[in-house]
Amino acid sequence: MFSISVCMIVKDEELVIERALNCVNKFADEIIIVDTGSKDRTKEICKKFNTNIFDFKWCNDFSKARNFSFSKATKDYIMWLDADDFISETNIEKINKLKYNKQDIDVYMFKYVMSFEDNKPTFEFFRERLLKRSKHFEFQGFVHEVITPSGKIQYEDISIEHRKEKENPTKRNLKLYRDAIKRGIKFNPREQYYYSRELFYNFYYKKCIKELKKYLNMKDNYTPNIKGAYLLLCDSYLYTNNSKLALKNIFDSIRLYTPNSETCCMVAKIYENLNDTNQAIFWYNIALIAPNTSEGFIQKKYNDFIPYLELCKLYYKIDYNESKKYFLLAKNINPTNKIIKYNEQFFKI
């Protein structure tokens, strides 16, 4: 049986920290809390649990804070968590069972579930979650930090849920990237990609296009990020009213990589913008049979729910029965979705 040190970096997390620690307390052999400057009751709450609390002066670098927390761990494996993460009883039981694994594993990969609808996961991806301490793994990147897995890696059907109770300041991460640029830091491909994402999510679409092009010229070797970059690039072109360039770039992506359902939905979306209903219908149908992705960010809604909704909309004016068929298929997946509830009035249901 191996032991686990859970390491967390926190700041002003009084709304969620007790929830997280109640989960952690059921499997952790050691809990390391690194506080980066809380002014609320975070540390007071942590003291109610059997935690080791350390202060760390914030220096605009998440990796340095996380690596400091790792340096305080003493058990066989290290697990990192955020204060607003949650672990269900089922997954806690799986972690406790995993502790009896006698295989010599260096990195355990768990699912990270980032969003839900009707309490079903809609956005998830695998992260390096449980790491052998003797291998001295370290985070890299001052924001959107990551550990590059190495050695013997094992994927587990264990999920960590990211359940926010408050939103991060909208431009916090973007400010960190801009400060780094001012200091003359040259981004590696991953940093360039995530910088572009921050520009997109803060509505700087023209700047995002410029930075994504720079990223695509950096010859990254991580395919999921390249596919993601093309999708963001196409969305940015759509937001700047340039559907033709969006179409060109999505087909550039398809020529390079086998399209998944999200890529096919993007093609259909672009054709919708070009008022080509037949092509849009064709590509949403292709999305329904496209291979599901298992790498990078996984948004399951593009496998079926989104195509069904869009086909319902596209068929409504040309074939009522087909439209209703796709509506019912979408409803069967997520009956409480607000769009489904709204559309019920059109089908006398």
User: Residue ranges per domain, the chain?
Assistant: 4-162, 172-303
For the chain, the average pLDDT equals 94
- CA–CA separation, 143 vs 156, rounded Å? 26
Structure confidence at residue 124 (pLDDT): 87
180: Cα separation from own chain's centroid? 23
Please list, in sequence order, all residues whose beta carbon lies within 8 angstroms of the beta carbon of residue 297, skipping any fewer than 6 positions away.
123, 125, 224, 228
* CATH class (in words) of the domain with range 172-303: mainly alpha
In this prediction, residues 296-323 reach a mean pLDDT of 92
Strands in 30-35's sheet, in edge-to-edge order, are: 51-55, 30-35, 4-10, 77-81, 120-132, 107-117, 153-162, 85-86
Structure confidence at residue 274 (pLDDT): 97
Structure confidence at residue 166 (pLDDT): 72
Please, is 229 exposed, middle or buried when counting C-beta atoms within 10 Å of its C-beta (0-12, 13-18, 19+)?
buried
Domain 4-162: what homologous superfamily? Spore Coat Polysaccharide Biosynthesis Protein SpsA; Chain A (3.90.550.10)
In this prediction, residues 199-211 reach a mean pLDDT of 97
The predicted-structure confidence for 80-136, as pLDDT tens digits, reads as follows 999 999 999 999 999 999 999 999 999 999 999 988 777 777 788 899 999 999 999
**Which two three-digit tokens encode residue 53?**
């609390």
pLDDT > 90 fraction of the chain, expressed in percent and rounded = 86
The number of helices, as runs of H, and strands, as runs of E, in the chain is 14, 8
The predicted-structure confidence for 43-61, as pLDDT tens digits, reads as follows 999 999 999 999 999 999 9
